[in-house]
């Protein structure tokens, strides 16, 4: 048979469109032609495949014209993921393996010159795409990639360490199906278990700081974003690093989507399966690093924090374009990246936790150290954060410096497990009432589910008027008050709940007054 067809997958955002690798052997001047809108690293597969076949003791058809087409021709292909399908296509077209037995299989893997298989990016996205499309196909992948793909329930995934391990399953004359029993080089991969909740740092490490701890609890219970303002060394980073442990456990669908994005970015670790990510980019990160980009488009930090936490320390030091890029995904939960050749959309449902100093020197309002900044410097520094961005951050909390004697004598704080239980209970109340966390309330749903009593409504209107809040800021405070009421087990939102919510939008104003 001079023509063979092998199935594989390309990557376009979280989608993994099907690619048919067509290999044709014909008489004529010897050549190896690869077509189908292949990127440079895909075209380099010619040399890797040739060396891998020869070094594995297999025959390479030197005296024939080899044409490899990656169909559809208008779909961009990148990376070395097509090495294994191309090699198998040549083996099938030359009769060294049985091409008919390849039906129902999909392959991806990069080949070393010796024939060893190397992991590829996006294996989990490939498996998720098959699962969603209802395609009953078996996957053969390299070590590392196979373990990722096997996380999808019900997928038949096999791990192969060498080209010969794959070729041995499809030799002519073999009739066993499913393939042969597990061997050191070929085995069926079973799903891994989710990471335990204890994998997160414990909130008990944070002593004192009752107000910031309370703000973290409210943010976790309602899905709210949080900004912490305070001098250096007060524990802002410690609090942020422990925030993910307060969030409810991930469902299978959430864990798969989060892990698939991490796989696309090459950042997935099997030990972190089922654990909410915490991304903390440096403040020198560009807008492209946060949003994503490239050709083909890859996810940025915003999407890599999907279903987890995006921690931005030294918030005013980030480039203005990077900060403004946060505004849309904070509202929509998605990010679209458009390029001339293609467009990709990534989910970006993350919780923003940001930290900043109140002024350039950091000691405005601090005890024991005087601030060296002029009012103009303080205004310029805080002015780096636009009003629309601050409006979209639900909780603004001051993290004050503790006196040394209070810090050293303070007992350990309340552990993560106890706070997490309250957060989960409050979130379950919100889900039972409206089907989603309080942060996602919009439009008429806010009025319908907030259930403000008359006194609380008058108090909120007075506070919004005196503090000069926008309509968005007022709605944000109302949603925070709804979460505070859920934590208290109250069906209605009272004055005390609204009063506490108002305090969480005054941190920057208080530092300015100080």
Could you tell me if 479 and 333 are in contact, meaning their C-beta atoms sit under 8 angstroms apart? no
Using pLDDT thresholds of 50, 70 and 90, give the confidence band for residue 130: confident
Q: What is the pLDDT of residue 336?
A: 86
* 222 and 156 belong to one structural domain: no
**What value, to the nearest 5°, has the Cα angle with vertex 335 and ends 274 and 435?**
60
Please name the residue that has the structure tokens 């278990």. 193
Could you tell me if 299 and 331 are in contact, meaning their C-beta atoms sit under 8 angstroms apart? no
* 211 and 83 belong to one structural domain: no
Distance CA 65, CA 41 (A): 21
Distance CA 156, CA 142 (A): 14
The 10 Å Cβ neighbour count of residue 40 is: 7
The tens digit of pLDDT for each residue in 356-386 reads 999 999 888 777 788 889 999 999 998 899 8
* 149 and 238 belong to one structural domain: no
Last residue of a domain, one of 171, 188, 205: 188
Distance CA 369, CA 319 (A): 29
Distance CA 283, CA 312 (A): 7
Distance CA 311, CA 305 (A): 9
* 82 and 137 belong to one structural domain: yes
The 10 Å Cβ neighbour count of residue 424 is: 16
Last residue of a domain, one of 166, 188, 210: 188
DSSP E strand boundaries for 82-210: 105-107, 110-111, 117-118, 138-141, 156-160, 186-188
Could you tell me if 11 and 122 are in contact, meaning their C-beta atoms sit under 8 angstroms apart? yes
CB-count exposure of residue 224 (10 Å: 0-12, 13-18, 19+) = buried
* 283 and 179 belong to one structural domain: no
CA 210 from chain center: how many Å?
Answer: 30
Side-chain-facing half-sphere of 102: CA atoms under 13 Å:
30
Using pLDDT thresholds of 50, 70 and 90, give the confidence band for residue 511: very low
Distance CA 94, CA 71 (A): 20
* 169 and 205 belong to one structural domain: no
The tens digit of pLDDT for each residue in 311-336 reads 999 999 999 999 998 988 988 888 88
* 279 and 418 belong to one structural domain: yes
* 273 and 398 belong to one structural domain: yes
Which residues constitute the domain of residue 121? 3-188
Eight-class DSSP state of 15: B
Number of domains in the chain: 2
Could you tell me if 495 and 459 are in contact, meaning their C-beta atoms sit under 8 angstroms apart? yes
The tens digit of pLDDT for each residue in 177-209 reads 656 667 889 999 988 776 555 578 999 988 888
Q: What is the CATH number of the domain that holds 257?
A: 3.40.50.300
Using pLDDT thresholds of 50, 70 and 90, give the confidence band for residue 429: very high
Q: What is the CATH number of the domain that holds 42?
A: 3.30.230.10
Last residue of a domain, one of 127, 158, 188: 188
* 507 and 417 belong to one structural domain: yes
* 166 and 201 belong to one structural domain: no
Q: Which residues contact 435 (CB under 8 A, 6 or more apart)?
A: none
The tens digit of pLDDT for each residue in 441-484 reads 888 888 888 888 899 999 999 999 998 888 888 999 999 999 99
Q: How many helices (H) and strands (E) does the chain have?
A: 22, 19
The tens digit of pLDDT for each residue in 376-413 reads 999 999 889 988 888 889 999 999 888 877 777 778 88
* 223 and 182 belong to one structural domain: no
* 229 and 120 belong to one structural domain: no
Token code pair at residue 217: 């609890």
């Amino acid at each position: 048979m001079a023509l063979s067809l092998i199935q594989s997958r390309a990557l376009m955002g979280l989608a993994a469109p099907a690619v048919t690798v067509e290999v044709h052997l014909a008489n004529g001047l010897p050549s190896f032609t690869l077509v189908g809108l292949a990127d440079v690293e895909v075209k380099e597969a010619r040399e890797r495949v040739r060396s891998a076949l020869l070094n594995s003791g297999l025959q390479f058809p030197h005296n024939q014209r080899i044409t490899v087409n990656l169909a559809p021709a208008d779909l961009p292909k990148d990376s070395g993921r097509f090495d294994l399908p191309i090699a198998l296509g040549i083996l099938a077209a030359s009769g060294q393996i049985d091409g008919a037995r390849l039906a129902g299989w999909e392959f991806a893997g990069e080949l070393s010159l010796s024939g060893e298989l190397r992991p590829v990016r996006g294996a989990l996205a490939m498996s998720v795409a098959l699962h969603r499309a209802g395609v009953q196909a078996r996957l053969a992948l390299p070590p590392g990639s196979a373990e990722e793909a096997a996380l999808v329930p019900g997928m038949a995934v096999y791990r192969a360490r060498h080209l010969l391990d794959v070729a041995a399953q499809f030799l002519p004359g073999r009739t066993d199906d499913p393939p042969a029993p597990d061997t050191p080089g070929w085995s069926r991969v079973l799903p891994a278990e989710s990471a335990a909740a204890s994998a997160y740092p414990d909130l008990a490490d944070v002593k004192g700081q009752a107000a910031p701890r309370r703000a973290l609890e409210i943010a976790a219970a309602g899905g709210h974003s949080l900004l912490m303002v305070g001098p250096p060394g007060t524990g802002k980073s410690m609090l942020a690093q422990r925030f993910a442990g307060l969030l409810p456990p991930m469902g299978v669908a959430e864990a798969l989507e989060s892990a698939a994005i991490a796989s696309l970015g090459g950042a997935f670790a099997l030990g972190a399966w089922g654990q909410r990510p915490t991304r903390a980019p440096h403040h020198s990160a560009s807008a492209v690093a946060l949003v994503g980009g490239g050709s083909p488009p890859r996810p940025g930090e915003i999407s890599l924090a999907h279903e987890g936490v995006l921690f931005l320390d030294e918030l005013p030091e980030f480039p203005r374009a990077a900060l403004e890029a946060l505004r849309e995904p904070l509202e929509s939960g998605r990010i679209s990246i458009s390029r001339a050749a293609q467009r990709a959309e990534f989910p970006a449902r993350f919780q923003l936790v940001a930290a900043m100093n109140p002024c350039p020197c950091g000691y405005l309002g601090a005890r024991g150290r005087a601030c060296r900044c002029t009012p103009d410097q303080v205004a310029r520094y805080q002015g780096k954060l636009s009003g629309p961005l601050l409006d979209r951050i639900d909780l603004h909390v001051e993290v004050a410096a503790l006196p040394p004697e209070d810090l050293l004598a303070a007992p350990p704080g309340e552990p993560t497990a106890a706070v997490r239980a309250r957060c989960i209970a409050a979130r379950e109340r919100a889900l039972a009432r409206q089907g989603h966390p309080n942060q996602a309330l919009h439009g008429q749903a806010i009025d319908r589910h907030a259930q403000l009593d008359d006194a609380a409504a008058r108090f909120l209107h007075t506070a919004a008027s005196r503090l000069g809040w926008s309509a968005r800021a007022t709605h944000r405070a109302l949603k925070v008050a709804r979460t505070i009421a859920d934590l208290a087990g109250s069906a209605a939102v009272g004055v005390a709940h609204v009063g506490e919510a108002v305090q969480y939008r005054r941190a920057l104003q208080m530092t300015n007054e100080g």
